[in-house]
Structure 1
């Protein structure tokens, strides 16, 4: 399973989960409370995801999730003060919003699968690479900021 690490781009996993959720959707869609939660999750996902992309561009470092070894700068400002993985957190929020929209219990397997996949096959290998590259600076950052939120 180690050869799956950093090989499958997270947006592809997101799309596969979203498509699977469509197949698993319930008979009824969520009610009013689900619509409010949906809007909030979309907004939070956008702020975290696009905020992270802007930070990476500003610091001129790679945003490629399959090539973290090309990282030239440890980004710790902006949304990275809230989460060490705001792009992935944004994807999770969007998938949770999709679950709210679709309704049903089984659709929540999608966000859970995304969370598990990203943690095991993307985030943990990235953390090992960042620790090796940035040493104490990264260790201190990990003590200050949580992995997800």
Structure 2
């Protein structure tokens, strides 16, 4: 039984809350990363909604189409990248280097558990089309 990504995100954010206090100057430093993460997440959700397919990571077998354009042309997992960015911004806002450990835990858990299961479901559903997409676009992000 996998914990849904939103649950993993909340667990990681809760762990970060115990590791430092928020302050206005640190919040201001974290704001650009949080904003960029929000834009990335909204763009990804928008792409799925425009395609008329599910955004539910627990029921990926309900995917009706393979979305490969927009932000999904740069990363196969923009919503998870957005959540990892938001957690990183949260660590910055709390002024805690240790706050990056829950970010690493979140990325590891999502990469090894959730994404692996999603990829298997997408391979089964879309076959060669998904294989070509996966060969072209990295899981997280391609360095430029």
Same fold? TM cut 0.5: yes
Say whether 1:51 aligns with 2:46.
Answer: no
Matched positions, count = 141
Structure 1 residue aligned with 2:91, among 96, 99, 110?
99
Partner of 2:34: 42
CA distance in structure 1 between the partners assigned to 2:131 and 2:114 by the alignment: 18
> How far 1:105 sits from its partner (Å)?
2.2
RMSD of Structure 2 on Structure 1 (CA): 1.9
> How far 1:56 sits from its partner (Å)?
0.8
Partner of 2:14: 19
Partner of 1:70: 62
Partner of 1:60: 52
User: In structure 2, the residue corresponding to 1:106 is in which secondary structure?
Assistant: coil
CA distance in structure 2 between the partners assigned to 1:11 and 1:106 by the alignment: 21
> How far 1:127 sits from its partner (Å)?
0.5
TM-score by length of 2: 0.90
Which deviates more from structure 2 when the two are superposed, residues 38-47 or residues 62-71?
38-47
CA distance in structure 2 between the partners assigned to 1:41 and 1:84 by the alignment: 20
Partner of 1:124: 116
TM-score by length of 1: 0.87
**Runs of 4+ off more than 4 Å:** 28-32
- Name structure 1 gaps, 5 residues minimum: none
- Name structure 2 gaps, 5 residues minimum: none
